Structure 1
Amino acid sequence: MPAPATGPGRRLLRRVPVRVRHHWKLLVGCAAFVSVLTVVFSTVRVQPYVTGGGGRGGDEVTQDIAGTRDLFDATVAHDISLTFRDADYERMVDAFAGEGEKEYVEADLIVDGTTIPSVGIRLKGNSTLAGLTRGGESIGGRPGGPAGGGDPAAGRPGEGDAEAGRPAGGDAAAGRPGGDDAAAGRPGGAPQGGGPAAGGARPGGARTSLKAEEPETLPWLIRFDEFVAGRRYQGHREVAVRVGGMGGGSAVLNEAVSLRLLADAGEAAPGYAYTRFVVNDRPAVARLVVEHPDATFADDLGDDGVLYKALATGRFADQGDDPTDYQDDFRQVTAKGSRDLQPVIDLVRWVADSSDAEFDAHLADHVDVESFARYVAWQNLLLNFDDMAGPGRNYYLWYDLATKRFTVVGWDYNLTFGGRADQGPHDTGRMGGGAPPAGGQRPEGVPAPGGARPPADAAVPGGDADAGRGGGNRLKERFLASAAFKATYEQAYRELYRQAYAGGAALASVDELVAVVSTVDGHDARAVGTEAERLRTLIRERTSRLATDEVITRS
């Protein structure tokens, strides 16, 4: 019998564990199978499909702080104070100035007497921050920086920042053409056509400049669970502290009035309230705080559904089947892990691909038409040029899992009441002005009065050709251009006009909100009085101008 081999190869083999040697064929087979999978599927995109669960889902809530009073009780003044380390704040400003990053700072918060330690706060906005200075030098308007869109702090462009996506150069406060008035082609903030008689007074004018040395004046997003997982305040994960001067002056009365009218009409609208706001023992100022739509907000929209946010960097355009191609367009807010973006993708593709006849016949299968008609009517009535078709793409989509239909939910009304008082029901709003000038040409692709459909080959704002160039939304424009929905839209418009304007609700809202903000320590009485009178003048004019419009007078 030959002697067993004792060479180097044999000695190495004996170092392999016995069990491995016994099952070497199985192991080699598995390795070969993995190699085949790698070769075959390495170039194949795997698309996730989620079929489970209902629409709730989301982060687990482990602590919900009750507080002493409802934060969004708008009938009373509130009190909010923030305390943070100066060194942390300076690092945050450095990050924003250098890279446009909006990093969170840890702060202690007191809300109406309730102390909440270790919340996260960060700057909020994009073109809002274009006028931000430090030491007298601009840090918010550099090319490609924060004013140009994007939200690095959230890891997604434009998330949560209503002003994202506007041209980077537009900021009157920073000494450049642009901002609220220059975008409308008028230097210095003069209303188009002159004073109120020519189309309505503007309630605010150019926004104020912002100084890093005055953190109490900056726009903030407060997140309760940034440093303490699972924490909420009265069910809310985040609240926004609005900046003064964007469209409604220091008190942002235009947004508060808009939210009051929407809520009183039973529409889905974020909560809001006026508060005394103090940062690190600096002087108190009056600020408007607004609910940031999250799972708690979604609870009021329906029993079972999914909430999606349109991003300012997005397009309402077909980009194929891959959900990752829509990451700059929409963000899922609720039901993460149990639902996905597929319903939104299906809606976008259907709106893009359907014929006129299919759109008219089947829109109600995809969208709550009556609710959508009210949404579109509200944006016109409130002179909100920056809605779902505006440069900020300010809207959410609620997908009802029972009906399989979408509802469009408005968001960010800080540029309402900024147009012409004589903007008609079928006129398209613009920054600082409504209908085209008398005798002027209507922009190509904009529906003509009466809802006439543009030619089939016309460029429609918001379609693929216009995506990313300032505004437009294919769903809204196809809806307004369709004769099939004209009666539904005009009926909603009449009802809401009579409630908000003819019934006096808008003027009453101004008076009620002025009464509240006047009790807030730190409010500017003179500025509030001026802003309120401008807003009243515009509302009176709009009430009078629309009263004779054929849409309103038609029974």
Structure 2
Amino acid sequence: MKKIILFAFVPLLLCLCSITALGFPWQTPKWAEAASSEAVGAAAALSYADEIDQTKIMTIEISVNDSDWQYLLDNATDKEYIQADVTINGTLIKNAGIRAKGNSSLSSIARDETTDRYSFKIKFDEYVDGQTWMGLDKLVLNGNYADATSMKEYLSYDIMRYIGVDAPLFAYADIRVNGKNWGFYLAIEDLDGSYKERAKNDDGELYKPDNDMGGGQPDNYGGQKEGESRRFAPVASDGTEKLPQAGAGNADKMPPTPPSGPVGEESETGRRNDGPGAGRGGMPNMAGNGVSLVYTDDNESSYSAIFDNAKTKTDTKDHQRVIAALKGLNEGKDLEKYVDVDATLRYFAAHTVVVNLDSYISNMGHNYLLYENDGRISMLPWDYNLAFGAFQSRNARDVVNFPIDTPVSGVSMDERPLLGKLLEVPEYLEKYHEYLQEIIEGYFANDKFEQKVDEVNTLISEHIKNDPSASYSYEEYQKAMVELKKFGTLRSQSIQGQLGGTIPSTTEGQKADPGKLVDASTVNLSAMGTQGGGAPNGQPTGGGIIPEGINQEALRSAMEIIQSAENGQLTEDQRTKLLDLGISDEQITQMLKMSQGSRATH
């Protein structure tokens, strides 16, 4: 009865609040205060939302046994929780769980003997039943891997929120471990139970589709649910030991099955890495077992990459709703019944702007949350440290001009139906264009993007300068910030041109008429950070010389071209051939240096 009364009075309450805000000397009546008490109580239970303020710097202090912390660092790829007391913005949470997180970034850092700058996940109820930090169940601490700007993920989520996507809360944070400064990170609300309660009124189900083809283990690899990998026995709220509790997901799952077919072969559609950023030497499509959201049949096992990675407790009925939605989506009929179209279009508009190829739109097919509510699916953003062209990108021109109407890389639009099927509908394509235009006008036009970067720089620059574990020097950060501004300006120009028809908006159109593309030769992508990360203390940075996934034939061809360069100088034709083989500008430079160095020693 109370809820009925509350819903009936909400419009009147809003009206009264509006009148008061305008300066009328009216008081909210007692009956209105009583009617709103339930809503206030619910908000208070999730008060962490006020603490994760993107305009402020959070403080996070981790108190942990020294040997336990060293154990975590030495065994980071095991993703095993250890016990720690965590103080966030002055609030102490005792006996929380903390572990390393990530996939390719995690394994890369584990192989790097010069750094222990892992990203972390804090699970507040890992050892104490029902424990939260002001209502939050899990908090992620991202180390901004491979991001010299330290802003890519921050800005990506900010753009998502600007256009109305239910992105996670985020804020920068100074991390201290046992009283010592550990590093400057980005704290992010995990897209799990608390997020669902805050952003979705606790309705629907959440999945994080992943095949774990990027190195390391996914959070729920092999059906291992959160809470089952820990170094110490958990305790109940009364301090007594309790048995491990099965967390989100489902029991008795097998490890994800790799996609079928020989590595490097073409997809069923005959497409293979032929879009911007795609020339990675035949990298296979890694989005099998449901990650691509392509409907195959009605068997739950065919979508193990979705259901094995459930973030909420789901059952067969939940799974069948998802399968029915995928079937309806792939048939392309009655899409409003199976897809939250507006939410999905907003997501893809923002996603297209920031050019994050380590995602659903590339052959990786991962790094997103699938949200299902009442039989309708949509996407939620996750993991943007490799946005702004840092992943699988050949050169700045391709990234700046990334096509808005075929925004995929290495795959066809048919292979990504949640995007492809929607953009096939003229009405939805027009709405998608409207959201792109809204982002350009509201976030980029009239120097807005440059001003935003300056605003964030004012907030974080001193913290970047004093970060003891930073992957990039402060000087590299400053240079990266300059390149980021240039990139944003040119990217918005290209999108505006594509929307206006002066620049081709598809991959094929851009191939046919490259002369109309925005000139991005002044942008140094590698200076902003690329996959492969940086090196501490100002050492040379950048990814590996050999691109991931390149086949031996392409590599041999590339080396022949490099070795044929006279005095280390490539002709335009030679450089174009290297780019077509999937070698980035940065890797070309490194291979030339390596070749010159080799000649000098002989």
Output the TM-score relative to the length of structure 1: 0.59
Counterpart in 1 of 2:19? none
Larger RCO (CA within 8 A; separation ≥ 6): 1
Q: Give the C-alpha shift of residue 486 in structure 1.
A: 2.7
Q: Which string of whole-angstrom CA distances, capped at 9 and with x for unpartnered residues, describes residues 7-29 of structure 1?
A: xxxxxxxxxxxxxxxxxxxxxxx
Amino acid at match of 2:322: V
Amino acid at match of 1:82: I
1:399 aligned onto 2:365: no
Name stretches of at least 5 consecutive residues in structure 1 with no aligned partner: 1-60, 139-208, 431-442, 448-459, 462-472
Matches within 5 A, 1:148-547: 209=112, 211=114, 214-215=115-116, 217-246=117-146, 248-249=147-148, 252-303=150-201, 305-313=203-211, 314-315=289-290, 316-318=293-295, 320-330=297-307, 331-334=309-312, 336=314, 340-352=318-330, 354=331, 359=332, 361-390=333-362, 391=364, 393-401=366-374, 404-418=375-389, 420-430=399-409, 446=412, 460-461=414-415, 473-483=416-426, 485-502=428-445, 504-520=447-463, 522-523=466-467, 525-547=474-496
Cα distance, 1:393–1:91 mapped onto 2, change above 3 Å: same
Larger Rg: 1
Q: Which string of whole-angstrom CA distances, capped at 9 and with x for unpartnered residues, describes residues 58-94 of structure 1?
A: xxx9x97967x93311111121121222332344455
Q: How far apart, CA to CA, are the structure 1 residues paired with 2:378 and 2:499? A: 28
Q: Give the C-alpha shift of residue 337 in structure 1.
A: 7.0
Task: Identify which range, 106-115 or 526-535, moves more after superposition.
Answer: 526-535
1:101 aligned onto 2:78: yes
* 1:277–1:284 Cα contact (<8 Å) kept: yes
Amino acid at match of 2:92: T
Cα distance, 1:505–1:113 mapped onto 2, change above 3 Å: same
Q: How far apart, CA to CA, are the structure 2 residues paired with 1:536 and 1:243? A: 22
Q: Secondary structure at the match of 1:340?
A: helix
Q: How far apart, CA to CA, are the structure 2 residues paired with 1:427 and 1:89? A: 46
* 1:253–1:531 Cα contact (<8 Å) kept: no
* 2:60–2:89 Cα contact (<8 Å) kept: yes
Cα distance, 1:228–1:277 mapped onto 2, change above 3 Å: same
* 2:87–2:93 Cα contact (<8 Å) kept: yes
Q: How far apart, CA to CA, are the structure 1 residues paired with 2:314 and 2:172? A: 32
Q: How far apart, CA to CA, are the structure 1 residues paired with 2:154 and 2:377? A: 26
Cα distance, 1:547–1:351 mapped onto 2, change above 3 Å: closer
Q: Secondary structure at the match of 1:269?
A: coil
* 1:84–1:108 Cα contact (<8 Å) kept: yes
* 2:329–2:338 Cα contact (<8 Å) kept: no
Q: How far apart, CA to CA, are the structure 1 residues paired with 2:498 and 2:369? A: 31
Amino acid at match of 1:409: L
* 1:221–1:239 Cα contact (<8 Å) kept: yes
Amino acid at match of 2:85: D
Amino acid at match of 2:483: R
Amino acid at match of 1:72: I
Q: Which string of whole-angstrom CA distances, capped at 9 and with x for unpartnered residues, describes residues 406-452 of structure 1?
A: 2322222222111611223224354xxxxxxxxxxxx6x635xxxxx
1:80 aligned onto 2:75: no
Of residues 117, 124, 136, the one that matches 2:94 is: 117
Q: Which string of whole-angstrom CA distances, capped at 9 and with x for unpartnered residues, describes residues 297-355 of structure 1?
A: 22344346213223221522445444355343233334657963221121223334x2x
Q: Give the C-alpha shift of residue 220 in structure 1.
A: 0.6
Q: Secondary structure at the match of 2:437?
A: helix
Amino acid at match of 1:332: A
* 2:82–2:99 Cα contact (<8 Å) kept: yes
Q: How far apart, CA to CA, are the structure 1 residues paired with 2:46 and 2:381? A: 27
Name stretches of at least 5 consecutive residues in structure 2 with no aligned partner: 1-41, 212-288, 394-398, 468-472, 504-602
* 1:305–1:398 Cα contact (<8 Å) kept: no
Cα distance, 1:392–1:505 mapped onto 2, change above 3 Å: farther
Amino acid at match of 2:344: F
Q: Which string of whole-angstrom CA distances, capped at 9 and with x for unpartnered residues, describes residues 206-259 of structure 1?
A: xxx575xx54x211111111111101112211111112333x22x520111111
Task: Identify which range, 333-342 or 389-398, moves more after superposition.
Answer: 333-342
Amino acid at match of 1:87: S
Amino acid at match of 1:510: V
Cα distance, 1:351–1:407 mapped onto 2, change above 3 Å: closer
* 1:306–1:333 Cα contact (<8 Å) kept: no
**C-alpha RMSD over aligned residues:** 3.1
Output the TM-score relative to the length of structure 2: 0.55
Q: Which string of whole-angstrom CA distances, capped at 9 and with x for unpartnered residues, describes residues 278-302 of structure 1?
A: 2234444211111111222223443
* 1:494–1:551 Cα contact (<8 Å) kept: no
Cα distance, 1:259–1:122 mapped onto 2, change above 3 Å: same
Q: Which string of whole-angstrom CA distances, capped at 9 and with x for unpartnered residues, describes residues 372-423 of structure 1?
A: 222222111111223333415122233333xx42232222222211161122
Cα distance, 1:547–1:95 mapped onto 2, change above 3 Å: closer
Counterpart in 2 of 1:452? none
Counterpart in 1 of 2:276? none
Q: How far apart, CA to CA, are the structure 2 residues paired with 1:258 and 1:386? A: 13
Cα distance, 1:310–1:334 mapped onto 2, change above 3 Å: closer
What fraction of aligned residue pairs are identical, expressed as a percent? 23
Q: How far apart, CA to CA, are the structure 1 residues paired with 2:327 and 2:159? A: 33
* 1:275–1:520 Cα contact (<8 Å) kept: no
* 1:80–1:277 Cα contact (<8 Å) kept: yes
Q: Which string of whole-angstrom CA distances, capped at 9 and with x for unpartnered residues, describes residues 172-191 of structure 1?
A: xxxxxxxxxxxxxxxxxxxx
* 1:490–1:551 Cα contact (<8 Å) kept: no
Aligned residues: 366
Q: Which string of whole-angstrom CA distances, capped at 9 and with x for unpartnered residues, describes residues 81-129 of structure 1?
A: 2122233234445545xxx521111112121222222111111011002
Counterpart in 2 of 1:190? none
* 2:47–2:134 Cα contact (<8 Å) kept: yes
Q: Which string of whole-angstrom CA distances, capped at 9 and with x for unpartnered residues, describes residues 469-493 of structure 1?
A: xxxx332233334556432322332
Counterpart in 2 of 1:470? none
Q: How far apart, CA to CA, are the structure 1 residues paired with 2:304 and 2:496? A: 44
* 2:46–2:198 Cα contact (<8 Å) kept: no
Cα distance, 1:398–1:77 mapped onto 2, change above 3 Å: same
Cα distance, 1:362–1:122 mapped onto 2, change above 3 Å: same
Cα distance, 1:540–1:65 mapped onto 2, change above 3 Å: closer
Amino acid at match of 2:177: V
Cα distance, 1:309–1:228 mapped onto 2, change above 3 Å: same
Q: Secondary structure at the match of 2:186?
A: strand
Counterpart in 1 of 2:274? none
Cα distance, 1:552–1:417 mapped onto 2, change above 3 Å: farther
